Amino acid sequence: MFRALCFSLLMALCSLVAVAQQADPRETRLLVLERLWNEAQVNRDASSLDALVGSRFTDTEWNGEVSDKQHFLADIKDPQFKPSSLTIQDVKMSFYGDTAVVIGTYHTQGTYQNKPYDHLGRFTDTWVKDGDKWQCVASHTSLIKK
């Protein structure tokens, strides 16, 4: 009985290792970058976001506002913008050469102009690899109606 349990656990572990080895390293890297982006937004760290987005970055917000990189970074620095959390789930990626489209859902909470917000939505980020560095060149969010 004990041997059968040990064998089953060993087989399960081997299966997990095989799946982990098949993971695309690009997906792992972009998922890390997406999570760093979220952390930078919660911490209002415009310099970290500056390194993640390309010089011709375009952002389309949940409310339809479109901005360039400078406006996007200025919004992050706005002292009235106080995010408390930002998480992403259901992330999927498609690769086209040195370009990746990352989609998923997000949940963010905080206050803006002393008014609380709680947004659940979808996002689409387009990343381009330049040399060995990935940069987001476009981001779009939309709210999911409750």
CATH of the domain at 67: 3.10.450.50
Torsion, Cα 5 6 11 14, to 10 degrees, reads 150
Is residue 126 a part of any domain in this protein?
A: yes
User: Domain span at residue 49?
Assistant: 25-143
CA proximity to 83, closest of 117, 124, 51: 117
Is residue 108 a part of any domain in this protein?
A: yes
C-alpha 2/C-alpha 6 separation (Å) is 6
For residue 63, what is the enclosing H or E element? none
C-alpha 144/C-alpha 122 separation (Å) is 7
pLDDT at 22: 62
Token reading at 119: 């947004």
Is residue 19 a part of any domain in this protein?
A: no
Is residue 4 a part of any domain in this protein?
A: no
pLDDT at 23: 78
Is residue 15 a part of any domain in this protein?
A: no
pLDDT at 9: 42
Which runs of consecutive H residues, i.e. helices, occur in the chain?
2-22, 25-42, 46-52, 69-77
pLDDT at 145: 76
CA distances from 50 to 3, 40, 44, 86, 133 (A): 55, 10, 11, 18, 13
Site of tokens 């792992």: 28
Instruction: Look at the chain and report how many structural domains it folds into.
Output: 1
- For the chain, which residues score pLDDT lower than 50? 2-10, 12-20
Residue-wise pLDDT tens digits, 49-64: 999 999 999 999 989 9
Is residue 91 a part of any domain in this protein?
A: yes
Is residue 2 a part of any domain in this protein?
A: no
Token reading at 16: 């997990």
pLDDT at 5: 37
CB 59 within 8 A of CB 67: yes
Q: Which residues pair with 59 in a beta bridge?
A: 67, 139
Is residue 134 a part of any domain in this protein?
A: yes
